[in-house]
Structure formats: structure tokens, C-alpha cells
Amino acid sequence: MYQKKNRKAILKNISSVETYEVRHPVLRQGKTIETCYFEGDLLPESLHLGLYLENRLVGVASFLKNKHKLFLGNQSQLRGMAVLPEFQKNGFGEMLFTAGEKQLKENKTNILWFNAREIAKNFYLKQNCTVIGEPYEIKGVGMHFLMIKEFSYSL
């Protein structure tokens, strides 16, 4: 069990391939490493964040340059949000989400959208995201919700 005291979490911008260390066991367990690749991973505008504890990568999140047909404006898609099981519920997911948001705002992103797994929906609601429409099934992965977070800017 993870002991929080005396351990400092460090956030870094990393490459998409570095995220596989967490994407694979958390989101693609039992599947080939190639399944960890997401379309848009390698675009120069895509952002990958890693959370380290004493040099160990324990959480990742990717903010990919990808448009959703329902939305207008400068968009990003959140993918690969994952924290290793033994480190979950310690605030690391929130740290990754908040750090991503900060960088998206610096780039004047209008909307962050994503397909949220049903089990993670309440985590995203806590990050003030909104569900759009009805849940839907993604084959082999389960029920999902389209969720968004909108950003506005004063002139």
C-alpha cells in the first residue's frame, strides 16, 4: 500500500511512448503493447503528462489534438488517463487533469472532450466536467459517456 508521507509527486511533459508504462497495465492489460498507441499521439500539438514518485512513473494523461464532430473551436481530446492501481485515490489523477487543463488554457483551447469509462465518470464529474447525451457501448471496453469541459476567455 502506498504511503503518502515524505514522497513528492513530480509532473513532467513526456513522450507518448513513455506513457505506455502506465497505459499498458491499467488500460490495455493482457493486450499487445501496440494497442497502447492512440491516433494523434505523435502530433506535435499533442500533450502527454507523467506523474513521478521518486523517479517512478505512476500516472499519465494525454491531451490529443483531435476534433469531435459535435463541437466547434480549438479542441483537445483527453485519452489514456490512468494511475497505477496501488497509487489510485491519492489525488494523482486530479493533479494530472489540473496540470493538463492549465496547459490547454495557455494554448487557448475552447473545449476538452473525451469518452469516459463508466467507472471513471464520477472522477470526471469531480473535475467539473459535464456529460453530453446518453451512454454508449465501446466494443470490448464497455459503457462510456461523452464528457466535456469548456474553457472561456475574457477579451
Ligand X SMILES: CC(C)(COP(=O)(O)OP(=O)(O)OC[C@H]1O[C@@H](n2cnc3c(N)ncnc32)[C@H](O)[C@@H]1OP(=O)(O)O)[C@@H](O)C(=O)NCCC(=O)NCCS
Q: Which residues bind ligand X (CB under 6 A)?
A: 26-27, 81-83, 88-94, 116-117, 119-120, 122-123, 126
Report, in Å, the least distance between residue 77 CB and ligand X: 11
What size, in residues, is the chain? 155
What whole-number distance in Å separates Cα of residue 61 and Cα of residue 79? 6
Report, in Å, the least distance between residue 125 CB and ligand X: 8
Which of 17, 120 has the CB closer to ligand X?
Answer: 120
Report, in Å, the least distance between residue 3 CB and ligand X: 15
Which of 50, 93 has the CB closer to ligand X?
Answer: 93
Give the three-state DSSP class for 65: coil
Cell numbers describing residue 61: 494523461
Report, in Å, the least distance between residue 150 CB and ligand X: 18
Residue nearest to ligand X (CB): 93
Q: Which residues pair with 82 in a beta bridge?
A: 60
Which of 126, 155 has the CB closer to ligand X?
Answer: 126
Give the three-state DSSP class for 108: coil
Which of 72, 119 has the CB closer to ligand X?
Answer: 119
The answer to whether 99 touches 136, Cβ cutoff 8 Å, is no
Q: Which helix (H) or strand (E) holds 97?
A: helix 92-106
What whole-number distance in Å separates Cα of residue 47 and Cα of residue 12? 10
